[in-house]
C-alpha cells in the first residue's frame, strides 16, 4: 500500500488497521494529528522523509505491540516539527529504526526491545550500510 507524497490535511486515524504487506508513507505530509493505535504492521512501515506537524501516536496494548516480529519502521530523514509529540506506547522497537532521525524528545512508554534475539551485527546489517564503520556511527547516534 502506498501513500507516497500524500497530503493529510486533517486529523487521520489508522487505529485498528492491519497492514500485512509493506506500507509506504514516503514523503507524505501529516498536517494534523495521526494515530496508529492498536494498528498492526506485519511488514515494512516506511515514513522516509515524511513530515509530521502535530501529534503522532504508535500505541499498542497487551495483545498487540503494533510492530510484528517481521516488521520494520523507517523514519530516516523524517521531519518531526514537534518531536515531543511523537509517542511510542506499549510497542516493540528496534534501535536501527531511529537512524538518521533525532529521537531524543520522542516519548517512549512501556516500549520493549528484545535484546536476546538481536545483536549489534544484526542491527548494522539492517541499516544496510556497506561501510561497517559508517554503520557503527549511525547506530551509535540512533538515540531512543
Q: For the chain, what is the domain count? A: 1
DSSP codes of every residue in 72-93: EEE-TT-EESSGGGEEEES-B-
Residues 18-23, mean pLDDT to the nearest whole number = 98
Residue 1 covered by a domain? no
Residue 75 covered by a domain? yes
Residue 94 covered by a domain? yes
Query: 106-123: per-residue pLDDT in tens?
Result: 999 999 986 666 655 665
Is residue 29 exposed (0-12), middle (13-18) or buried (19+ Cβ within 10 Å)? middle
Residue 90 covered by a domain? yes
What is the pTM (predicted TM-score) of this model?
A: 0.82
Query: 39-66: per-residue pLDDT in tens?
Result: 999 999 999 999 999 999 999 999 999 9
Domain that holds residue 97: 7-141
Residue 2 covered by a domain? no
Amino acid at each position: 500500500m502506498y501513500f507516497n507524497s500524500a497530503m493529510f490535511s486533517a486529523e487521520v486515524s489508522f487505529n485498528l488497521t492491519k497492514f500485512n504487506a509493506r506500507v509506504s508513507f514516503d514523503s507524505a505530509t501529516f498536517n494534523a494529528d495521526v494515530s496508529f493505535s492498536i494498528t498492526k504492521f506485519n511488514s515494512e512501515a516506511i515514513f522516509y522523509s515524511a513530515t509530521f506537524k502535530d501529534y503522532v501516536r504508535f500505541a499498542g496494548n497487551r495483545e498487540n505491540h503494533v510492530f510484528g516480529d517481521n516488521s520494520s519502521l523507517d523514519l530516516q530523514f523524517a521531519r518531526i516539527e514537534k518531536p515531543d509529540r511523537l509517542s511510542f506506547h506499549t510497542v516493540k522497537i528496534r534501535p536501527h529504526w531511529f537512524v538518521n532521525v533525532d529521537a531524543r524528545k520522542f516519548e517512549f512508554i512501556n516500549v520493549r526491545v528484545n535484546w536476546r534475539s538481536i545483536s549489534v551485527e544484526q542491527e548494522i546489517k539492517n541499516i544496510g550500510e556497506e561501510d561497517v564503520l559508517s554503520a557503527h556511527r549511525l547506530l551509535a547516534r540512533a538515540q531512543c
